[in-house]
Amino acid sequence: MFKQVSESTGKTVTIYFEGKPVQVEEGTTVAAAVLDPSHGWTRTSHGGQQRGPYCQMGVCHECLMNIDGVPNQQACLTVVAEGMQVRRQNGVPDFHQEDKNHG
Amino acid sequence: MDKVWDVIIVGAGPAGMCTAIQTAKHGLSTLVVDRQTEPGGQIFRSAGSSSMIGKLGKDYAAGLPLVKQFLNCGAQFEPGANVWDIAPDRVYYSQQGHSHFVRARQVVLATGAMERPVPLPGWTLPGVMGSGASDVLLKSAGLLPEGPVVLCGNGPLVLQAAVHMHEFNVPVSAVLLTGRMGNIMHAMKHASGILARPGYFLHGVNMAAKTMLHQKCVLGAHDVSISESEKGLQVHYATRSGKHRKLDASTVLLHEGVIPETRITRLARLRHAWDQKQRYWHVDADKWGQTSAPGLRTAGDIATVRGAAAAQAEGSLVGLDICRELGQLSLADRDREALPFLRIIKRCQALQPFLDEYFAPTPAMLQPHPDAIVCRCEELTAGHLGEVIREGSYSPNGVKAQARPGMGTCQGRICGQAVAEMIADAHGLSMENLPQYTAQPPLFPLRLGELVEMPSPSELM
């Protein structure tokens, strides 16, 4: 669990993590925004292990999530936007799903 | 014809920003791309917008004027632009789900460093992250772990994190320091370097003193592993006298120093060199950032990890020499303008041997326990990879072909050096002679549709 030590800017957006609304500060990355709601795990490995962001700077790829229907998005490099739908990416990415989204 | 930039700089950290400030000032068209949404890199992460800017000390506060100067210097800045291929005169990047192709007379790679990944059992568990990752969350989002925290590792960033935890009242179970006690003896041989940067040195001593005073420190901790427990996480370690101990934590922060992130420079097939003290690969470049490939330069930590002050000076020198090469500055003017930056680098170089020895990585830490997952993407343990290596794999690419480490989404950024260290140890080879994983484009997972949609160079004409 994480705590906010900075003062709120008062500017927030609502995103949805696994369908549930989460209010976060504008400009936050998705990886930071879902730290607590996700209990620290944002994907499962192909062997089913729970994993969460390790580096927060775009290197480790542990934060890959499904953002607005697009899988394999680096949550630590993606900034929140109003109404954004964020889901865990479980197991092996579903490439057929991606085809449908971009068909 | 499509635009050809004078300079494209990849990375808007301290080095990249300073290169751009010089080239833009001297009238060169300059494009800067960075995968983050704001300039600053990691050390000055979010410095332009962070509400933490006045609360994390003067080192971080120095980022704000630099970011402002950069944003007003006349260079074009493209945020959220993730570079996926590179050549001496061109850069391919993805931005908002669309790929772009840009050309330049000079390309500068100022992509910086990353925390050295040191696999240990349980480091893949949720709640375990890099100490630098926690620092990024603090700077960019004002977030700190609620605690209890266990900090474990070696390097100035461990001390900095320990001080931050104290200042913001985060309970810390212990700070496990994994550096060797004997390092100080080797470091003292370079003690004269302290005189070159007394203020910087005293700042470090101050952080160490605060850490010792306010936190429970365990010197020479080893055999560290992490497991899940009812309360969250449990950290197991051995003390210097060999006693086994346990600590409860909700967050574990690991840090074993900082190494250049060379995937992009290996993709460009640049010549690299091995740093035996700090044990990392870095780009072999001269003081003007010129690499083994004409037209392709590096600036900052990608060439040698010396921190923000040196990176800014190096970036400035690279910028000035590009101005000379492209005819904006005479050789004499370049040399005159370079003087203050060369002085800064000289001072940084003088202290660096002391720091490199004092914070030298502990060899035992670099040989992972058999239960440790080395390749996080493909879930491969050190035990399994060790067998493959001993059966007759003598190079990282060989192990990759045999057992798949480095074939996942991070493409070997995390496991690359750990696998090489295992091979070197198992077969008695020197790291210097081990070729690293071959890097191929794209540098990160890319939607095929993006490639199809990207305008080809002929369409741009």
Query: Cα(B168)–Cα(B137) distance, rounded to whole angstroms?
Result: 14
Tell me how far CA of residue B193 lies from CA of A60, B160, B182, B190, in angstroms. 35, 22, 19, 6
Q: How many CB atoms lie within 10 A of CB B242?
A: 8
Q: Do B80 and A58 touch (CB under 8 A)?
A: no
Closest CA to B102 of B121, B125, B85, B80: B85
Report whether B374 contacts B119 (CB < 8 A): yes
Note whether B109 and B125 are same-domain residues. Answer: no
B293 — alpha (psi -120 to 50), left (phi > 0) or beta? beta
The pLDDT assigned to B459 comes to: 55
Nearest chain A residue to B125, by CA: A51
Where do we find the tokens 């000379």? B324
For B452, counting Cβ atoms within 10 Å of its Cβ (0-12 exposed, 13-18 middle, 19+ buried), the class is exposed
Q: Are both B152 and B239 inside the same structural domain? A: yes
With 0-12 CB in 10 A as exposed, 13-18 as middle and 19+ as buried, what is B365? buried
Give the per-residue pLDDT at B461: 44
Determine contact, residues B445/A72, Cβ cutoff 8 Å: yes
Beta-carbon contacts below 8 Å between A and B: 133
Instruction: pLDDT band for B88, please (50, 70, 90 cuts).
Output: confident
Residue B204 lies in a domain: yes
pLDDT band at B447 (very low <50, low <70, confident <90, very high): confident
Residue B458: per-residue pLDDT = 58
Q: Is the dihedral of CA B436, B357, B311, B157 positive or negative?
A: positive
Mutate to test the interface with B, among A25, A38, A49, A55 (most CBs of B within 10 A): A55
Please check whether residues B181 and B264 belong to one and the same domain: no
Q: Identify the band that residue A103 occupies on the pLDDT scale cut at 50, 70 and 90.
A: very low
Instruction: Sort out which chain A residues have CB atoms less than 8 A from B252's CB and list them.
Output: none
Its ipTM equals 0.94
- Give φ, ψ of B454 to 5 degrees: -65, 130
Q: Could A5 and B52 be called an inter-chain contact, meaning their C-beta atoms sit closer than 8 Å?
A: yes
Backbone angles phi, psi at A32, to 5 degrees: -70, -40
Residues B154 and B100 in one domain: no
Q: Do B58 and B309 touch, CB atoms closer than 8 A?
A: no
CATH of the domain at B316: 3.50.50.60
Q: Is residue B270 part of a domain?
A: yes
Read off the pLDDT of residues B171-191 as tens digits, 9 standing for 90 and up.
999 999 999 999 999 999 999
For residues B141 and B251, state if they share a domain.
Answer: yes
Residue B259 CB partners (closer than 8 Å, separation 6+): B113, B114, B115, B116, B278, B279, B280, B281, B305, B417
CB contact under 8 A, A52 and B141: no
**β-bridge partners, A81:** none
Q: How confident is the model at residue A8 (pLDDT cuts 50, 70, 90)?
A: confident
Q: How many domains does chain B have?
A: 3
Mean pLDDT rounded to a whole number for chain B:
95
Judging contacts by C-beta atoms under 8 Å, the chain B residues touching residue A88 are none
Name, in order, each residue with C-beta under 8 angstroms of B185's C-beta and a sequence gap of 6 or more.
none
* B227 domain residue, yes or no: yes
Average pLDDT for B287-304: 96
What CATH number is associated with residue B429? 1.10.10.1100
Best of B377, B380, B384, B411 to disrupt the A interface by mutation (most A CBs within 10 Å)? B377
pLDDT band at A94 (very low <50, low <70, confident <90, very high): low
Residue at B349 is within a domain? no
Interface contact A89, partner B, CB < 8 A: no
Compute the distance between CA of residue B361 and CA of residue B155 in angstroms, rounded to an integer: 9
pLDDT recorded at residue A100: 52
| pLDDT tens-digit series, residues B178-229 | 999 999 999 999 999 999 999 999 999 999 999 999 999 999 999 999 999 9
| Domains parsed from chain A with CATH numbers | 12-91 (3.10.20.440)
Residues B72 and B137 in one domain: no
Domain of B155? 117-256
**Chain A neighbours among B 163-182 (CB < 8 Å)?**
168, 170
Residue A103 or B296, more confident: B296
Residues B39 and B140 in one domain: no
Identify the residue with better confidence: B267 or A8.
Answer: B267
Residue A93: pLDDT over 70? no
pLDDT at B340 (0 to 100): 98
Same domain assignment for residues B133 and B177? yes
Clarify whether residues B94 and B153 are in a common domain: no
Choose the final residue of a domain: B194, B224, B256: B256
What separation in angstroms does the CA of A97 have from each of A102, B312, B323, B448, B453?
9, 45, 49, 14, 19
Q: Is B458 domain-assigned?
A: no
Quick one: B135 and B155 in the same domain? yes
Residue B199 shares a structural domain with residue B281? no
